[in-house]
Amino acid sequence: MGVKIVTDSTADLPQGLAEELDIAVVPLKVHFGEEEYLDWIELDSDSFFQKLKASDIIPRTSQPSPADFEAVYKRVGEYGDSIISLHISAQLSGTYQSASIAKSMLEDMDLEVVDSKVTSMALGLVVVEAARAAKEGKSKEEIMALVYNNMSKCRIFFGVDTLEYLQKNGRIGKAAALLGGMLNVKPVLTLENGAIIPKEKVRGKSKLHQVLVDTLAQEAAGEVKGRVVVLHGDALDEALKLKEKIDEKYDFKESVISQIGAVIGTHTGPGVLGVAVIYE
């Protein structure tokens, strides 16, 4: 019996990668008023940001139901394979709770549900490494050890143009939103123990680039090595510039650019720029 990897759409996996690595992705939903869309299925990143800019409505999101997870678990575990299900921080979404409820309804399955305490491609990096190990034939115990090791070495840092979206969606406090609107101050945020916290304040995109590049070294335990993803929301030109600076300074095993999806974009707004890294 093998091991199957399940995640949710907030992992923002590049299109085609989930199919290539046999990762099952359970979508969250994005709501524009009465309109509902499945993240990355009915609404990709480009379409979402076009709609966001054209709409007066602040969208909202909702997690998959336990029944959604139950259906996926039954499908991917049909032949008795073990399942490892890796999800967005429980402090940011009820997705992990829904997955856990589904697990309790499937007591005969060999199923592990994990709160990654991160999201977007920080989660995506952990998921991809787990899926690669599964394709190599590693055991569930070996993959779980890899998952927790990678989670301990995974970091995400990002700057937003405005804290309005995070504040309106209840992911960060009003005081921080007020500060973010003052004198072109852009907050640099990170995730710590699953929650969004401020790390630094910068003025302007060029300073943001430098802070993100420098932070990669500051957070490394030693030499800067591993895998890095430059994240962006409708800011490809900025992402390309940031990746060039990172590649000039560091020798990562993998260095790629990835767009954030509609669910993450609902909470960050357009113009978000960041890095997700797993250190070696």
Q: Are residues 81 and 12 in the same domain?
A: yes
> Is the pLDDT confidence value at 127 over 70?
yes
Q: pLDDT digit string (tens) for 206-250?
A: 899 999 999 999 999 889 999 999 999 999 999 999 999 999 999
Following CA atoms 100, 18, 120, 73 in sequence, which dihedral angle do they give, to the nearest 10 degrees?
-10
Check: CB of residue 156 under 8 Å from CB of residue 43: no
**Is residue 45 one of the residues assigned to a domain?**
no
Range of the domain at 178: 154-279
Q: Which residues pair with 192 in a beta bridge?
A: 195
Q: pLDDT digit string (tens) for 43-90?
A: 999 999 999 999 999 899 999 999 999 999 999 999 999 999 999 999
Q: Are residues 109 and 214 in the same domain?
A: no
Based on the structure, what is the number of domains in the chain?
2
The predicted structure's pLDDT at residue 180: 52
Q: Single out the residue in 133, 152, 171 at which a domain terminates.
A: 152
Q: What is the pTM (predicted TM-score) of this model?
A: 0.93
Which has more pLDDT, 43 or 187?
43
Alpha carbon distance 129, 147 (integer Å): 8
**Is residue 96 one of the residues assigned to a domain?**
yes
Q: Are residues 142 and 267 in the same domain?
A: no
The 3 state secondary structure assigned to 169-205 is: CCCCCHHHHHHHCCCCEEEEEEEECCEEEEEEEEECH
Q: Are residues 142 and 163 in the same domain?
A: no
**Is residue 271 one of the residues assigned to a domain?**
yes
Q: Are residues 163 and 241 in the same domain?
A: yes
Check: CB of residue 231 under 8 Å from CB of residue 196: no
Q: Are residues 8 and 127 in the same domain?
A: yes
**Is residue 188 one of the residues assigned to a domain?**
yes
**Is residue 58 one of the residues assigned to a domain?**
no
- Give the DSSP per-residue string, 259-273: E--HHHHHHH-TT-E
